[in-house]
C-alpha cells in the first residue's frame, strides 16, 4: 500500500507546486492523476520516489517510510517503484537491451553496474520482457533509432525489470499518436491486471483518464480537488479542473 500524508512541495520561496496532498493506493489499483499543465502532477509523482524532495508530509510504501529514508535505504525502496517518463529517458546511443537491463541496476553491485555486467538470469529476463512487449526484434538496435511508441515500450520494459510494486507513469503518452496512445495504455493496464502492479499515471486528457483509470485524482494548482471513480466523475468536476467546459 502507498500512503501519501499531507505531501507538499514548494519550489524556491513561493511556487507551491503540491499542497498538502493525501491519498492511499491499495495494491493493484490503477489510478490516474488528471489535471492541466502546471497543476503539479509531475512534481507529485516525483515526490513519491524522491526525484523531487517533498517540503513537507510523509510518504510510505508497504509500511516503510520513503520520506525519511537514508540514501542506502532509499536505493532499496526505489527498486520497488518503477518510473516511466514522457520523453522515455533512455540512453539513446545504447542498445535497447542495455537500456532494459538498466532496470536491474538497483539490484546489481555497484562495481558490476559500472561495467554493465549483468547476470545471465537478468539477460534472459530482459529478452523475455522485450518479447512480452512485442519489441524482441529491436533488442540490439540503438534506442534512439526506435519510434516513440517503441521507445516507450523500452521504458516500460526497463521499469518491469525492477519487478516493481508500483509504476509511476508521468504523462507516458503525451508525445504519441492516437493509436500508439491506446496500445501503450493497454499495455499498462495489462501489467496492472496480470502482474498486480499498482499504477499511478499522470494524464492531461480527461477522456483517457476516464477510460483507463479505475480511480481518478483531480489536481488543480497544487491541490487534490477530487478523488473519484470514472463512473462517478461528473462533467462539472472536469470543467473546474480546466476552467472551461470540456466535453467527456
Q: How far is the CB of 94 from ligand ATP (least distance, A)?
A: 26
Taking each helix axis from N to C end, the angle separating 148-161 and 178-195, rounded to the nearest 10 degrees, works out to 10
Give the nearer residue to ligand ATP in terms of CB position, either 135 or 217: 217
Out of 21, 30, 40, 208, point to the residue binding ligand ATP (CB under 6 A).
40
| CA–CA distance, 129 with 139 (Å, rounded to integer) | 10
Out of 10, 23, 38, 106, point to the residue binding ligand ATP (CB under 6 A).
38
CA-to-CA separations, 56 to 43, 70, 185, in angstroms, rounded: 13, 16, 32
Kindly write out the interface string for residues 89-128 of this chain, putting x where it contacts ligand ATP by CB under 6 A and - elsewhere. ----------------------------------------
* Secondary structure, 3-state, 16-79: EEEEEEEEEECCCCEEEEECCCCCCHHHHHHHHCCCCCCCEEEEEECCEECCCCCHHHHHHHHH
Give the nearer residue to ligand ATP in terms of CB position, either 35 or 103: 35
Contact 1, 27 (CB under 8 A): yes
Maximum separation of any 2 CA atoms in the chain, in Å = 55
Out of 2, 7, 32, 35, point to the residue binding ligand ATP (CB under 6 A).
35
3-state helix, strand, coil in the chain (%, to 5): 40, 25, 35
Please report whether residue 49 would count as binding ligand ATP according to CB under 6 A: no
Please report whether residue 43 would count as binding ligand ATP according to CB under 6 A: yes
Which residues inside 165-184 make contact with ligand ATP, applying CB under 6 A? Answer: 171
Give the nearer residue to ligand ATP in terms of CB position, either 17 or 216: 17
DSSP state of 142: B
Give the nearer residue to ligand ATP in terms of CB position, either 15 or 116: 15
Give the nearer residue to ligand ATP in terms of CB position, either 5 or 223: 223
Task: Determine the 3-state secondary structure of 225 from DSSP.
Answer: strand
| CA–CA distance, 130 with 154 (Å, rounded to integer) | 8
Q: How far is the CB of 121 from ligand ATP (least distance, A)?
A: 37
Out of 2, 7, 17, 83, point to the residue binding ligand ATP (CB under 6 A).
17
Please report whether residue 39 would count as binding ligand ATP according to CB under 6 A: yes
Please report whether residue 42 would count as binding ligand ATP according to CB under 6 A: yes
- Contacts to ligand ATP by CB under 6 A: 11, 15, 17, 35, 37-43, 171
Amino acid at each position: 500500500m502507498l500512503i501519501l500524508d499531507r505531501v507538499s512541495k514548494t519550489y524556491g520561496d513561493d511556487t507551491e507546486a503540491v499542497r498538502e496532498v493525501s491519498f492511499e493506493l491499495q495494491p493493484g489499483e490503477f489510478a490516474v492523476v488528471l489535471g492541466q499543465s502546471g497543476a503539479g502532477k509531475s512534481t507529485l509523482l516525483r515526490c513519491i520516489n524522491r526525484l523531487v524532495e517533498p517540503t513537507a508530509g510523509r510518504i510510505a510504501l508497504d509500511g516503510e517510510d520513503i520520506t525519511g529514508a537514508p540514501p542506502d535505504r532509499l536505493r532499496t525502496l526505489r527498486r520497488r517503484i518503477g518510473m516511466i517518463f514522457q520523453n522515455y529517458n533512455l540512453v539513446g546511443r545504447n542498445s535497447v537491451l542495455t537500456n532494459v537491463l538498466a532496470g536491474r541496476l538497483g539490484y546489481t553491485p555497484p562495481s558490476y553496474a559500472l561495467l554493465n555486467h549483468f547476470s545471465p538470469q537478468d539477460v534472459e529476463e530482459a529478452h523475455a520482457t522485450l518479447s512480452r512487449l512485442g519489441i524482441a526484434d529491436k533488442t540490439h538496435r540503438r534506442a534512439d533509432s526506435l519510434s516513440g511508441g517503441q521507445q516507450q515500450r523500452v521504458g516500460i520494459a526497463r521499469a518491469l525489470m525492477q519487478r516493481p510494486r508500483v509504476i509511476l507513469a508521468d504523462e507516458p503518452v503525451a508525445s504519441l499518436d492516437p493509436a500508439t496512445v491506446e496500445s501503450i495504455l493497454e499495455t499498462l493496464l495489462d501489467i496492472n491486471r496480470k502482474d498486480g502492479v499498482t499504477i499511478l499515471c499522470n494524464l492531461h486528457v480527461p477522456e483517457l483518464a476516464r477510460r483507463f483509470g479505475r480511480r481518478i485524482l483531480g489536481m488543480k494548482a497544487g491541490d487534490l480537488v477530487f478523488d473519484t471513480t470514472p463512473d462517478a466523475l461528473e462533467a462539472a468536476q472536469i470543467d473546474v479542473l480546466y476552467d472551461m467546459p470540456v466535453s467527456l
